Structure 1
Amino acid sequence: MIREDATIDSGALYDVANVLGMSDQQVRLCIKRLIADGQFTQEGRGRKALLRATNRVRSTITPDREYVRYMYAQDTGSAPWDGVWHLVAFGVPESVRAARDAMRDAITRLGGAPIQGGLYVSPNRWEGLISAAATEFGVGRHVATLTTTDLSVGGVDAPRELVDRLWPLDQIAERHRRLLVVAERSLSALRTASPTEHLTIAIELAAEFTQAVEPDPLLPPQLLPQPWVGTTARAAVAACWAELLKSGRQPIRLFRWYADVIAEVSQTATSDRTASSLPAADHCV
Protein backbone atom coordinates (compact mmCIF):
# COMPACT_ATOMS: atom_id res chain seq x y z
CA MET A 1 0.00 0.00 0.00
CA ILE A 2 3.02 2.28 -0.21
CA ARG A 3 2.20 5.11 -2.60
CA GLU A 4 4.57 6.86 -4.97
CA ASP A 5 5.51 9.44 -2.32
CA ALA A 6 6.50 6.55 0.04
CA THR A 7 3.51 7.10 2.35
CA ILE A 8 0.62 4.96 3.54
CA ASP A 9 -2.76 6.40 4.44
CA SER A 10 -3.63 4.90 7.83
CA GLY A 11 -7.37 5.17 7.24
CA ALA A 12 -7.09 3.12 4.08
CA LEU A 13 -4.77 0.67 5.86
CA TYR A 14 -7.31 0.07 8.63
CA ASP A 15 -10.15 -0.33 6.14
CA VAL A 16 -8.30 -2.85 4.01
CA ALA A 17 -7.05 -4.78 7.05
CA ASN A 18 -10.61 -5.01 8.36
CA VAL A 19 -11.81 -6.45 5.05
CA LEU A 20 -8.97 -8.99 5.20
CA GLY A 21 -10.05 -10.07 8.69
CA MET A 22 -7.73 -8.05 10.96
CA SER A 23 -9.00 -6.07 13.93
CA ASP A 24 -8.07 -2.43 14.61
CA GLN A 25 -6.02 -3.58 17.61
CA GLN A 26 -3.96 -5.91 15.41
CA VAL A 27 -3.33 -3.10 12.95
CA ARG A 28 -2.24 -0.73 15.73
CA LEU A 29 0.22 -3.31 17.06
CA CYS A 30 1.66 -3.86 13.58
CA ILE A 31 2.11 -0.12 13.07
CA LYS A 32 3.82 0.22 16.47
CA ARG A 33 6.26 -2.55 15.56
CA LEU A 34 7.06 -0.94 12.21
CA ILE A 35 7.73 2.41 13.88
CA ALA A 36 9.77 0.86 16.70
CA ASP A 37 11.86 -0.99 14.13
CA GLY A 38 12.62 2.26 12.32
CA GLN A 39 10.81 1.29 9.12
CA PHE A 40 8.17 4.05 9.23
CA THR A 41 7.49 7.36 10.94
CA GLN A 42 3.99 8.47 11.89
CA GLU A 43 2.40 11.86 11.46
CA GLY A 44 -0.91 12.22 13.28
CA ARG A 45 -2.85 9.57 15.18
CA GLY A 46 -5.28 6.75 14.56
CA ARG A 47 -7.02 6.48 11.24
CA LYS A 48 -6.03 10.02 10.30
CA ALA A 49 -2.32 9.32 10.60
CA LEU A 50 0.11 9.27 7.73
CA LEU A 51 2.83 6.62 7.73
CA ARG A 52 6.00 7.57 5.93
CA ALA A 53 8.64 5.01 4.92
CA THR A 54 12.13 5.75 6.19
CA ASN A 55 15.12 5.82 3.87
CA ARG A 56 16.08 2.33 5.03
CA VAL A 57 12.77 0.92 3.84
CA ARG A 58 12.70 2.94 0.63
CA SER A 59 15.96 1.32 -0.44
CA THR A 60 14.47 -2.18 -0.06
CA ILE A 61 10.99 -1.88 -1.57
CA THR A 62 12.01 -1.49 -5.20
CA PRO A 63 11.02 -4.72 -6.97
CA ASP A 64 13.47 -6.64 -9.13
CA ARG A 65 12.62 -4.71 -12.27
CA GLU A 66 15.12 -6.61 -14.40
CA TYR A 67 13.46 -9.88 -13.42
CA VAL A 68 10.01 -8.57 -14.33
CA ARG A 69 11.35 -6.98 -17.52
CA TYR A 70 12.95 -10.25 -18.62
CA MET A 71 9.80 -12.21 -17.76
CA TYR A 72 7.58 -10.05 -19.96
CA ALA A 73 10.24 -9.89 -22.69
CA GLN A 74 10.05 -13.68 -22.85
CA ASP A 75 6.26 -13.50 -23.04
CA THR A 76 6.36 -11.06 -25.96
CA GLY A 77 9.01 -13.03 -27.85
CA SER A 78 11.71 -10.40 -27.32
CA ALA A 79 14.05 -12.74 -25.41
CA PRO A 80 14.25 -15.99 -27.40
CA TRP A 81 16.46 -18.83 -26.21
CA ASP A 82 19.83 -19.06 -27.96
CA GLY A 83 20.23 -22.79 -27.40
CA VAL A 84 22.91 -22.40 -24.72
CA TRP A 85 22.75 -24.15 -21.35
CA HIS A 86 24.42 -22.36 -18.43
CA LEU A 87 25.85 -24.52 -15.66
CA VAL A 88 27.33 -23.85 -12.24
CA ALA A 89 29.26 -26.30 -10.09
CA PHE A 90 30.38 -25.78 -6.52
CA GLY A 91 32.16 -27.79 -3.86
CA VAL A 92 32.09 -25.76 -0.68
CA PRO A 93 33.80 -27.37 2.35
CA GLU A 94 31.74 -28.67 5.26
CA SER A 95 33.54 -26.19 7.51
CA VAL A 96 31.52 -23.37 5.92
CA ARG A 97 28.22 -25.17 5.67
CA ALA A 98 26.14 -22.01 6.15
CA ALA A 99 27.80 -20.38 3.13
CA ARG A 100 27.34 -23.57 1.12
CA ASP A 101 23.63 -23.72 1.94
CA ALA A 102 23.22 -20.01 1.14
CA MET A 103 24.89 -20.50 -2.24
CA ARG A 104 22.69 -23.46 -3.07
CA ASP A 105 19.58 -21.48 -2.11
CA ALA A 106 20.70 -18.57 -4.30
CA ILE A 107 21.19 -20.88 -7.28
CA THR A 108 17.73 -22.40 -6.91
CA ARG A 109 16.17 -18.93 -6.50
CA LEU A 110 17.78 -18.01 -9.80
CA GLY A 111 15.98 -20.93 -11.44
CA GLY A 112 18.76 -23.50 -11.40
CA ALA A 113 17.80 -27.17 -11.57
CA PRO A 114 20.02 -29.83 -9.95
CA ILE A 115 21.64 -32.33 -12.28
CA GLN A 116 23.64 -34.06 -9.54
CA GLY A 117 25.34 -33.09 -6.31
CA GLY A 118 26.73 -29.56 -6.61
CA LEU A 119 25.89 -29.17 -10.30
CA TYR A 120 23.00 -26.98 -11.51
CA VAL A 121 21.76 -25.82 -14.90
CA SER A 122 19.67 -22.99 -16.33
CA PRO A 123 18.79 -21.99 -19.90
CA ASN A 124 19.23 -18.33 -18.93
CA ARG A 125 22.44 -16.28 -18.84
CA TRP A 126 23.11 -16.01 -15.12
CA GLU A 127 26.88 -15.84 -14.74
CA GLY A 128 26.88 -12.28 -13.36
CA LEU A 129 24.27 -13.14 -10.74
CA ILE A 130 26.08 -16.35 -9.79
CA SER A 131 29.35 -14.46 -9.40
CA ALA A 132 27.67 -11.82 -7.23
CA ALA A 133 26.15 -14.48 -4.97
CA ALA A 134 29.47 -16.35 -4.67
CA THR A 135 31.22 -13.12 -3.71
CA GLU A 136 28.53 -12.23 -1.18
CA PHE A 137 28.87 -15.60 0.57
CA GLY A 138 32.65 -15.71 0.29
CA VAL A 139 32.78 -18.93 -1.76
CA GLY A 140 34.00 -17.59 -5.10
CA ARG A 141 37.04 -19.87 -5.25
CA HIS A 142 34.78 -22.92 -4.83
CA VAL A 143 32.44 -22.06 -7.72
CA ALA A 144 32.86 -22.79 -11.43
CA THR A 145 30.59 -21.84 -14.35
CA LEU A 146 30.44 -23.18 -17.88
CA THR A 147 28.20 -23.18 -20.92
CA THR A 148 27.32 -25.84 -23.46
CA THR A 149 24.96 -26.49 -26.34
CA ASP A 150 25.40 -30.24 -25.90
CA LEU A 151 23.75 -31.25 -22.62
CA SER A 152 22.72 -34.82 -21.89
CA VAL A 153 21.27 -36.01 -18.57
CA GLY A 154 20.56 -39.68 -18.08
CA GLY A 155 20.59 -40.23 -21.81
CA VAL A 156 18.15 -37.37 -22.45
CA ASP A 157 19.46 -34.57 -24.67
CA ALA A 158 16.39 -33.07 -26.40
CA PRO A 159 15.90 -29.59 -24.83
CA ARG A 160 12.18 -29.91 -24.16
CA GLU A 161 12.61 -33.37 -22.67
CA LEU A 162 15.40 -32.06 -20.46
CA VAL A 163 13.11 -29.32 -19.16
CA ASP A 164 10.39 -31.88 -18.42
CA ARG A 165 12.93 -33.97 -16.54
CA LEU A 166 14.68 -31.25 -14.56
CA TRP A 167 11.99 -28.70 -13.61
CA PRO A 168 8.60 -29.25 -11.87
CA LEU A 169 6.49 -27.89 -14.74
CA ASP A 170 3.20 -29.12 -13.23
CA GLN A 171 3.79 -27.16 -10.03
CA ILE A 172 4.87 -24.05 -11.92
CA ALA A 173 1.79 -24.24 -14.14
CA GLU A 174 -0.56 -24.80 -11.19
CA ARG A 175 0.68 -21.66 -9.42
CA HIS A 176 0.03 -19.66 -12.59
CA ARG A 177 -3.42 -21.19 -13.01
CA ARG A 178 -4.30 -19.89 -9.55
CA LEU A 179 -2.84 -16.51 -10.49
CA LEU A 180 -4.94 -16.44 -13.66
CA VAL A 181 -8.13 -17.10 -11.71
CA VAL A 182 -7.33 -14.30 -9.25
CA ALA A 183 -6.31 -11.87 -12.01
CA GLU A 184 -9.44 -12.46 -14.09
CA ARG A 185 -11.66 -12.08 -11.03
CA SER A 186 -9.76 -8.95 -10.00
CA LEU A 187 -9.99 -7.33 -13.42
CA SER A 188 -13.76 -7.71 -13.42
CA ALA A 189 -14.12 -6.44 -9.85
CA LEU A 190 -11.80 -3.44 -10.26
CA ARG A 191 -14.07 -1.72 -12.75
CA THR A 192 -16.75 -1.13 -10.12
CA ALA A 193 -14.71 -1.35 -6.90
CA SER A 194 -14.91 1.17 -4.08
CA PRO A 195 -11.63 2.76 -2.88
CA THR A 196 -11.29 0.20 -0.09
CA GLU A 197 -12.14 -2.71 -2.37
CA HIS A 198 -9.66 -1.31 -4.89
CA LEU A 199 -6.80 -1.52 -2.39
CA THR A 200 -7.90 -4.91 -1.08
CA ILE A 201 -7.92 -6.37 -4.59
CA ALA A 202 -4.50 -4.86 -5.24
CA ILE A 203 -3.00 -6.51 -2.16
CA GLU A 204 -4.55 -9.90 -2.91
CA LEU A 205 -3.33 -9.71 -6.51
CA ALA A 206 0.19 -8.73 -5.45
CA ALA A 207 0.34 -11.64 -2.99
CA GLU A 208 -0.80 -14.17 -5.59
CA PHE A 209 1.57 -12.74 -8.19
CA THR A 210 4.49 -13.10 -5.78
CA GLN A 211 3.57 -16.71 -4.98
CA ALA A 212 3.47 -17.57 -8.68
CA VAL A 213 6.52 -15.78 -10.04
CA GLU A 214 9.11 -15.90 -7.23
CA PRO A 215 9.71 -19.66 -7.66
CA ASP A 216 9.35 -19.45 -11.47
CA PRO A 217 12.68 -20.32 -13.20
CA LEU A 218 11.61 -18.25 -16.23
CA LEU A 219 12.15 -21.03 -18.74
CA PRO A 220 12.15 -19.84 -22.36
CA PRO A 221 8.83 -20.26 -24.21
CA GLN A 222 10.59 -22.47 -26.77
CA LEU A 223 11.12 -25.06 -24.02
CA LEU A 224 7.61 -24.97 -22.54
CA PRO A 225 4.29 -26.58 -23.52
CA GLN A 226 2.25 -24.21 -25.65
CA PRO A 227 0.06 -22.38 -24.96
CA TRP A 228 1.78 -21.75 -21.63
CA VAL A 229 -0.52 -20.71 -18.79
CA GLY A 230 2.18 -18.47 -17.29
CA THR A 231 2.07 -16.18 -20.31
CA THR A 232 -1.72 -15.95 -20.13
CA ALA A 233 -1.71 -15.31 -16.38
CA ARG A 234 0.91 -12.58 -16.56
CA ALA A 235 -0.96 -10.85 -19.37
CA ALA A 236 -4.08 -10.83 -17.17
CA VAL A 237 -2.06 -9.37 -14.29
CA ALA A 238 -0.69 -6.65 -16.59
CA ALA A 239 -4.26 -5.73 -17.51
CA CYS A 240 -5.05 -5.45 -13.80
CA TRP A 241 -2.07 -3.19 -13.21
CA ALA A 242 -3.27 -0.93 -16.01
CA GLU A 243 -6.76 -0.85 -14.48
CA LEU A 244 -5.36 -0.07 -11.03
CA LEU A 245 -3.66 3.02 -12.44
CA LYS A 246 -6.89 4.37 -13.92
CA SER A 247 -8.47 5.14 -10.56
CA GLY A 248 -7.22 8.73 -10.42
CA ARG A 249 -6.00 8.20 -6.85
CA GLN A 250 -2.32 8.29 -5.99
CA PRO A 251 -1.18 4.91 -7.30
CA ILE A 252 0.54 2.22 -5.31
CA ARG A 253 4.23 2.47 -6.09
CA LEU A 254 4.60 -1.25 -6.84
CA PHE A 255 2.02 -1.22 -9.62
CA ARG A 256 3.42 1.94 -11.18
CA TRP A 257 6.84 0.27 -11.38
CA TYR A 258 5.38 -2.86 -12.94
CA ALA A 259 3.28 -0.92 -15.42
CA ASP A 260 6.31 1.13 -16.48
CA VAL A 261 8.35 -2.03 -17.07
CA ILE A 262 5.61 -3.62 -19.17
CA ALA A 263 5.27 -0.45 -21.22
CA GLU A 264 9.03 -0.51 -21.89
CA VAL A 265 8.93 -4.16 -22.94
CA SER A 266 5.89 -3.65 -25.17
CA GLN A 267 7.51 -0.66 -26.87
CA THR A 268 10.72 -2.63 -27.48
CA ALA A 269 8.79 -5.59 -28.87
CA THR A 270 6.84 -3.31 -31.21
CA SER A 271 10.03 -1.60 -32.39
CA ASP A 272 11.71 -4.96 -33.01
CA ARG A 273 8.75 -6.21 -35.06
CA THR A 274 8.68 -3.00 -37.08
CA ALA A 275 12.41 -3.16 -37.76
CA SER A 276 12.24 -6.80 -38.83
CA SER A 277 9.49 -6.01 -41.33
CA LEU A 278 11.51 -3.28 -43.09
CA PRO A 279 13.36 -4.18 -46.29
CA ALA A 280 17.14 -4.43 -46.19
CA ALA A 281 18.89 -1.17 -47.00
CA ASP A 282 20.54 -2.44 -50.18
CA HIS A 283 17.13 -3.42 -51.53
CA CYS A 284 15.61 0.01 -51.05
CA VAL A 285 15.01 2.21 -54.07
Structure 2
Amino acid sequence: MPRPSIVAIARATESPRNLIITIYGAFVRDLGGSVTVAALVRLLGELGIDGAASRSAINRLKQQHLLERDERHGRPGYVASASLIELLRDGDERIFGSTHGAELTDGWLIVVFTVPESERDQRHLLRTRLHALGCAPMSPGVWIAPRRTEGDVRRMLVGLSLDRYVSMFVGDYVGFAELDRLAEAWDVAPLRRNYQRFITRHRRAAARGVRSPAAAFSQYVPLLDGWRHLVFEDPGLPDALTPHAELRREAFELFGAAAQALAGSARQHVVETIAAGPG
Protein backbone atom coordinates (compact mmCIF):
# COMPACT_ATOMS: atom_id res chain seq x y z
CA MET A 1 0.00 0.00 0.00
CA PRO A 2 1.54 3.36 -1.02
CA ARG A 3 2.13 5.88 1.71
CA PRO A 4 -0.25 8.84 1.84
CA SER A 5 0.90 11.83 -0.18
CA ILE A 6 1.27 15.29 1.28
CA VAL A 7 -1.33 16.36 -1.29
CA ALA A 8 -3.84 13.80 -0.04
CA ILE A 9 -3.20 14.97 3.50
CA ALA A 10 -3.73 18.56 2.47
CA ARG A 11 -7.13 18.02 0.86
CA ALA A 12 -9.24 17.79 4.02
CA THR A 13 -8.98 20.81 6.29
CA GLU A 14 -9.16 20.78 10.07
CA SER A 15 -9.79 17.08 10.49
CA PRO A 16 -8.17 15.71 13.69
CA ARG A 17 -5.67 13.81 11.55
CA ASN A 18 -4.67 16.87 9.57
CA LEU A 19 -4.42 19.05 12.66
CA ILE A 20 -2.03 16.55 14.24
CA ILE A 21 0.14 16.63 11.13
CA THR A 22 0.07 20.43 11.17
CA ILE A 23 1.14 20.47 14.82
CA TYR A 24 4.04 18.11 14.10
CA GLY A 25 5.07 20.07 11.02
CA ALA A 26 4.82 23.52 12.57
CA PHE A 27 6.19 22.79 16.04
CA VAL A 28 7.06 19.28 17.17
CA ARG A 29 9.69 18.38 14.57
CA ASP A 30 11.71 21.43 15.66
CA LEU A 31 11.20 20.70 19.38
CA GLY A 32 12.91 17.32 19.56
CA GLY A 33 10.40 15.50 17.34
CA SER A 34 8.37 13.87 20.12
CA VAL A 35 5.28 14.82 22.09
CA THR A 36 3.32 12.93 24.73
CA VAL A 37 -0.20 11.75 23.99
CA ALA A 38 -1.48 13.84 26.90
CA ALA A 39 0.06 17.05 25.54
CA LEU A 40 -1.12 16.34 22.01
CA VAL A 41 -4.68 15.65 23.17
CA ARG A 42 -4.61 18.86 25.22
CA LEU A 43 -3.47 20.91 22.23
CA LEU A 44 -6.13 19.37 20.02
CA GLY A 45 -8.73 20.11 22.66
CA GLU A 46 -7.88 23.80 22.31
CA LEU A 47 -8.75 23.44 18.61
CA GLY A 48 -12.16 21.96 19.39
CA ILE A 49 -11.27 18.26 19.03
CA ASP A 50 -12.45 15.99 21.84
CA GLY A 51 -10.24 13.38 23.44
CA ALA A 52 -11.82 10.35 21.79
CA ALA A 53 -11.48 11.82 18.30
CA SER A 54 -7.90 12.87 19.06
CA ARG A 55 -6.84 9.41 20.23
CA SER A 56 -8.57 7.77 17.27
CA ALA A 57 -6.69 10.04 14.85
CA ILE A 58 -3.38 9.33 16.59
CA ASN A 59 -4.02 5.61 16.26
CA ARG A 60 -4.80 5.94 12.53
CA LEU A 61 -1.58 7.84 11.95
CA LYS A 62 0.29 5.11 13.80
CA GLN A 63 -1.33 2.45 11.60
CA GLN A 64 -0.26 4.41 8.53
CA HIS A 65 3.32 4.42 9.86
CA LEU A 66 3.37 8.21 10.09
CA LEU A 67 3.75 8.23 13.88
CA GLU A 68 5.90 5.89 15.97
CA ARG A 69 5.70 5.12 19.69
CA ASP A 70 8.14 7.03 21.85
CA GLU A 71 8.59 7.28 25.63
CA ARG A 72 11.57 9.58 25.93
CA HIS A 73 9.55 11.83 28.25
CA GLY A 74 8.78 8.90 30.55
CA ARG A 75 5.17 8.87 29.37
CA PRO A 76 3.44 7.44 26.27
CA GLY A 77 4.08 9.63 23.27
CA TYR A 78 4.75 9.64 19.55
CA VAL A 79 7.54 10.80 17.29
CA ALA A 80 7.16 11.63 13.59
CA SER A 81 8.31 8.72 11.45
CA ALA A 82 10.80 9.11 8.61
CA SER A 83 7.85 8.90 6.21
CA LEU A 84 6.05 11.77 7.90
CA ILE A 85 9.23 13.89 8.00
CA GLU A 86 9.61 13.32 4.26
CA LEU A 87 5.99 14.30 3.65
CA LEU A 88 6.40 17.47 5.67
CA ARG A 89 9.52 18.41 3.74
CA ASP A 90 7.66 17.82 0.48
CA GLY A 91 5.04 20.30 1.58
CA ASP A 92 7.23 23.03 3.07
CA GLU A 93 8.26 24.75 -0.16
CA ARG A 94 4.74 24.81 -1.53
CA ILE A 95 3.16 26.00 1.71
CA PHE A 96 5.69 28.69 2.61
CA GLY A 97 6.98 29.62 -0.85
CA SER A 98 5.42 32.02 -3.32
CA THR A 99 2.09 30.94 -4.76
CA HIS A 100 2.17 33.29 -7.70
CA GLY A 101 1.16 31.45 -10.83
CA ALA A 102 3.59 29.97 -13.28
CA GLU A 103 4.81 32.15 -16.13
CA LEU A 104 3.43 31.48 -19.60
CA THR A 105 6.99 31.51 -20.90
CA ASP A 106 7.95 28.64 -18.58
CA GLY A 107 6.24 26.12 -20.84
CA TRP A 108 4.28 22.99 -20.06
CA LEU A 109 4.82 19.45 -18.84
CA ILE A 110 3.07 16.74 -20.87
CA VAL A 111 2.63 13.29 -19.32
CA VAL A 112 1.67 10.47 -21.65
CA PHE A 113 0.87 7.07 -20.21
CA THR A 114 -0.56 3.67 -21.07
CA VAL A 115 -1.48 1.22 -18.31
CA PRO A 116 -2.76 -2.30 -19.13
CA GLU A 117 -6.38 -3.00 -18.20
CA SER A 118 -5.15 -5.81 -15.95
CA GLU A 119 -3.40 -3.13 -13.85
CA ARG A 120 -6.27 -0.66 -13.58
CA ASP A 121 -5.55 -0.10 -9.87
CA GLN A 122 -2.20 1.31 -10.90
CA ARG A 123 -3.91 3.45 -13.54
CA HIS A 124 -6.29 4.84 -10.92
CA LEU A 125 -3.36 5.57 -8.59
CA LEU A 126 -1.47 7.31 -11.39
CA ARG A 127 -4.41 9.51 -12.33
CA THR A 128 -5.15 10.34 -8.70
CA ARG A 129 -1.59 11.40 -7.98
CA LEU A 130 -1.26 13.39 -11.21
CA HIS A 131 -4.45 15.26 -10.38
CA ALA A 132 -3.20 15.92 -6.85
CA LEU A 133 0.00 17.49 -8.23
CA GLY A 134 -1.93 19.95 -10.41
CA CYS A 135 -2.02 18.02 -13.70
CA ALA A 136 -5.17 17.86 -15.82
CA PRO A 137 -6.28 15.48 -18.60
CA MET A 138 -6.35 16.64 -22.20
CA SER A 139 -7.40 13.08 -23.09
CA PRO A 140 -7.46 9.86 -21.01
CA GLY A 141 -3.75 9.14 -21.41
CA VAL A 142 -2.38 12.64 -21.97
CA TRP A 143 -2.12 15.01 -19.00
CA ILE A 144 -0.67 18.49 -18.81
CA ALA A 145 0.59 20.87 -16.11
CA PRO A 146 2.76 23.97 -15.76
CA ARG A 147 6.36 22.95 -16.37
CA ARG A 148 7.44 23.81 -12.84
CA THR A 149 5.63 20.68 -11.60
CA GLU A 150 8.13 18.47 -13.43
CA GLY A 151 10.25 17.72 -10.36
CA ASP A 152 7.26 16.82 -8.17
CA VAL A 153 5.77 14.62 -10.88
CA ARG A 154 9.07 12.86 -11.52
CA ARG A 155 9.60 12.13 -7.82
CA MET A 156 6.06 10.81 -7.50
CA LEU A 157 6.37 8.51 -10.52
CA VAL A 158 9.70 7.06 -9.43
CA GLY A 159 8.68 6.80 -5.76
CA LEU A 160 5.55 4.80 -6.61
CA SER A 161 7.21 2.80 -9.43
CA LEU A 162 4.74 4.27 -11.91
CA ASP A 163 7.44 5.63 -14.21
CA ARG A 164 7.40 2.43 -16.26
CA TYR A 165 4.03 3.44 -17.72
CA VAL A 166 4.93 7.03 -18.56
CA SER A 167 6.68 9.22 -21.11
CA MET A 168 7.20 12.88 -20.13
CA PHE A 169 7.75 15.85 -22.42
CA VAL A 170 8.18 19.58 -21.92
CA GLY A 171 7.34 22.23 -24.48
CA ASP A 172 5.62 25.45 -25.45
CA TYR A 173 2.09 26.16 -26.59
CA VAL A 174 2.18 27.02 -30.31
CA GLY A 175 -1.50 26.90 -31.37
CA PHE A 176 -4.18 26.75 -32.58
CA ALA A 177 -7.07 27.36 -30.18
CA GLU A 178 -7.13 30.35 -27.85
CA LEU A 179 -4.77 29.68 -24.97
CA ASP A 180 -7.47 30.25 -22.34
CA ARG A 181 -9.22 27.15 -23.69
CA LEU A 182 -6.37 25.20 -22.15
CA ALA A 183 -7.45 26.28 -18.66
CA GLU A 184 -10.77 24.50 -19.16
CA ALA A 185 -8.97 21.22 -18.44
CA TRP A 186 -8.79 22.29 -14.78
CA ASP A 187 -11.77 22.83 -12.51
CA VAL A 188 -10.65 26.12 -10.96
CA ALA A 189 -14.09 27.62 -10.41
CA PRO A 190 -14.27 26.66 -6.69
CA LEU A 191 -10.90 28.28 -5.99
CA ARG A 192 -12.21 31.83 -6.20
CA ARG A 193 -14.79 31.05 -3.52
CA ASN A 194 -12.28 29.17 -1.37
CA TYR A 195 -9.70 31.95 -1.49
CA GLN A 196 -12.38 34.47 -0.56
CA ARG A 197 -13.48 32.34 2.41
CA PHE A 198 -9.89 32.07 3.59
CA ILE A 199 -9.39 35.84 3.34
CA THR A 200 -12.64 36.63 5.14
CA ARG A 201 -12.05 34.18 7.98
CA HIS A 202 -8.46 35.05 8.72
CA ARG A 203 -8.79 38.78 8.21
CA ARG A 204 -11.43 38.75 10.94
CA ALA A 205 -9.13 36.69 13.17
CA ALA A 206 -6.29 39.14 12.57
CA ALA A 207 -8.56 42.07 13.42
CA ARG A 208 -9.26 40.53 16.85
CA GLY A 209 -5.56 40.58 17.69
CA VAL A 210 -3.62 38.10 19.79
CA ARG A 211 -4.32 38.15 23.50
CA SER A 212 -2.10 35.27 24.64
CA PRO A 213 0.15 32.45 23.37
CA ALA A 214 -2.82 30.07 23.66
CA ALA A 215 -4.91 32.37 21.46
CA ALA A 216 -2.06 32.61 18.95
CA PHE A 217 -1.90 28.82 18.78
CA SER A 218 -5.65 28.54 18.24
CA GLN A 219 -5.41 31.01 15.34
CA TYR A 220 -2.15 29.83 13.80
CA VAL A 221 -2.91 26.13 13.38
CA PRO A 222 -6.19 26.67 11.44
CA LEU A 223 -4.41 29.34 9.40
CA LEU A 224 -1.70 26.88 8.38
CA ASP A 225 -4.16 24.06 7.80
CA GLY A 226 -6.44 26.19 5.62
CA TRP A 227 -3.56 27.62 3.63
CA ARG A 228 -2.12 24.17 2.99
CA HIS A 229 -5.46 23.09 1.59
CA LEU A 230 -5.57 26.05 -0.81
CA VAL A 231 -2.04 25.78 -2.17
CA PHE A 232 -2.46 22.11 -2.95
CA GLU A 233 -5.88 22.66 -4.48
CA ASP A 234 -4.53 25.41 -6.76
CA PRO A 235 -2.70 24.01 -9.84
CA GLY A 236 -0.67 27.21 -10.11
CA LEU A 237 -1.73 28.21 -13.62
CA PRO A 238 -0.37 31.46 -15.04
CA ASP A 239 -2.26 34.53 -13.86
CA ALA A 240 -3.51 35.20 -17.40
CA LEU A 241 -5.40 31.89 -17.33
CA THR A 242 -6.63 32.17 -13.75
CA PRO A 243 -9.82 34.02 -12.74
CA HIS A 244 -8.73 34.02 -9.09
CA ALA A 245 -5.24 35.51 -9.60
CA GLU A 246 -5.91 38.69 -7.59
CA LEU A 247 -7.49 36.76 -4.72
CA ARG A 248 -4.56 34.36 -4.74
CA ARG A 249 -2.10 37.22 -4.29
CA GLU A 250 -4.25 38.81 -1.57
CA ALA A 251 -4.54 35.53 0.31
CA PHE A 252 -0.79 34.93 0.08
CA GLU A 253 -0.04 38.36 1.53
CA LEU A 254 -2.56 37.82 4.33
CA PHE A 255 -1.11 34.40 5.13
CA GLY A 256 2.43 35.74 5.25
CA ALA A 257 1.55 38.62 7.56
CA ALA A 258 -0.62 36.50 9.86
CA ALA A 259 1.93 33.69 10.08
CA GLN A 260 4.67 36.14 11.01
CA ALA A 261 2.48 37.68 13.72
CA LEU A 262 1.33 34.38 15.24
CA ALA A 263 4.11 31.82 14.84
CA GLY A 264 6.35 32.88 17.72
CA SER A 265 3.63 33.06 20.35
CA ALA A 266 2.03 29.85 19.11
CA ARG A 267 5.36 28.05 19.42
CA GLN A 268 5.76 29.39 22.97
CA HIS A 269 2.38 27.88 23.87
CA VAL A 270 3.33 24.48 22.47
CA VAL A 271 6.63 24.53 24.38
CA GLU A 272 4.82 25.37 27.61
CA THR A 273 2.19 22.68 27.03
CA ILE A 274 4.80 19.99 26.38
CA ALA A 275 6.78 21.04 29.45
CA ALA A 276 3.72 21.14 31.71
CA GLY A 277 3.37 17.36 31.86
CA PRO A 278 0.11 15.59 32.71
CA GLY A 279 -2.80 17.97 33.21
Tell me which of 126, 137, 155 is aligned to 1:132: 155
> Is the CA contact 1:86–1:121 (under 8 Å) kept in the aligned structure 2?
yes
1:64 is the counterpart of 2:82: no
1:229 is the counterpart of 2:247: yes
Tell me which of 135, 142, 166 is aligned to 1:143: 166
CA distance in 2, matches of 1:32, 1:136: 25
Residue deviations 1:17-40, cap 9 Å, x none? 334444445546666777797524
The two structures, once aligned, show a CA RMSD in angstroms of: 3.4
Letter of the aligned partner of 1:170 in structure 2? A
1:117 is the counterpart of 2:140: yes
> Is the CA contact 2:111–2:169 (under 8 Å) kept in the aligned structure 1?
yes
Q: How many residues end up aligned between the 2 structures?
A: 241
The structure richer in helix per residue is: 2
Q: 1:198 to 1:145 in 2, by over 3 A?
A: same
> Is the CA contact 1:17–1:27 (under 8 Å) kept in the aligned structure 2?
yes
CA distance in 1, matches of 2:37, 2:205: 23
1:218 Cα deviation from its structure 2 partner: 1.0
Report the counterpart of residue 261 of structure 2 in structure 1: 243
1:116 Cα deviation from its structure 2 partner: 1.1
CA distance in 2, matches of 1:193, 1:212: 27
Q: 1:215 to 1:23 in 2, by over 3 A?
A: closer
1:90 is the counterpart of 2:113: yes
Q: 1:51 to 1:210 in 2, by over 3 A?
A: same
Letter of the aligned partner of 1:74 in structure 2? H
Letter of the aligned partner of 1:167 in structure 2? W
Q: TM-score, normalised by structure 1?
A: 0.69
**For structure 2, which runs of at least 5 residues remain unmatched after alignment?**
1-22, 272-279
> Is the CA contact 2:147–2:170 (under 8 Å) kept in the aligned structure 1?
no
**For structure 1, which runs of at least 5 residues remain unmatched after alignment?**
254-285
Report the counterpart of residue 215 of structure 1 in structure 2: 233
1:42 Cα deviation from its structure 2 partner: 4.2
1:187 Cα deviation from its structure 2 partner: 2.0
Residue deviations 1:134-180, cap 9 Å, x none? 3334343431222332355xx6x2223421x2222211222211221
Matches within 5 A, 1:175-186: 175-186=194-205
Q: 1:175 to 1:55 in 2, by over 3 A?
A: same
> Is the CA contact 1:89–1:144 (under 8 Å) kept in the aligned structure 2?
yes
Q: 1:131 to 1:106 in 2, by over 3 A?
A: same
1:43 Cα deviation from its structure 2 partner: 5.7
Letter of the aligned partner of 2:92 in structure 1? R
Report the counterpart of residue 68 of structure 2 in structure 1: 39
Q: Secondary structure at the match of 2:170?
A: strand
Q: Secondary structure at the match of 1:218?
A: coil
> Is the CA contact 1:183–1:233 (under 8 Å) kept in the aligned structure 2?
no
CA distance in 1, matches of 2:239, 2:195: 15
1:108 Cα deviation from its structure 2 partner: 1.0
> Is the CA contact 1:92–1:100 (under 8 Å) kept in the aligned structure 2?
yes
CA distance in 1, matches of 2:163, 2:34: 40
1:201 is the counterpart of 2:219: yes
Report the counterpart of residue 277 of structure 2 in structure 1: none
Q: 1:112 to 1:179 in 2, by over 3 A?
A: same
1:124 Cα deviation from its structure 2 partner: 2.5
CA distance in 2, matches of 1:125, 1:44: 43
Identity of counterpart residues, as a percentage? 21
> Is the CA contact 1:103–1:133 (under 8 Å) kept in the aligned structure 2?
no
Q: Secondary structure at the match of 1:74?
A: coil
Letter of the aligned partner of 2:241 in structure 1? L
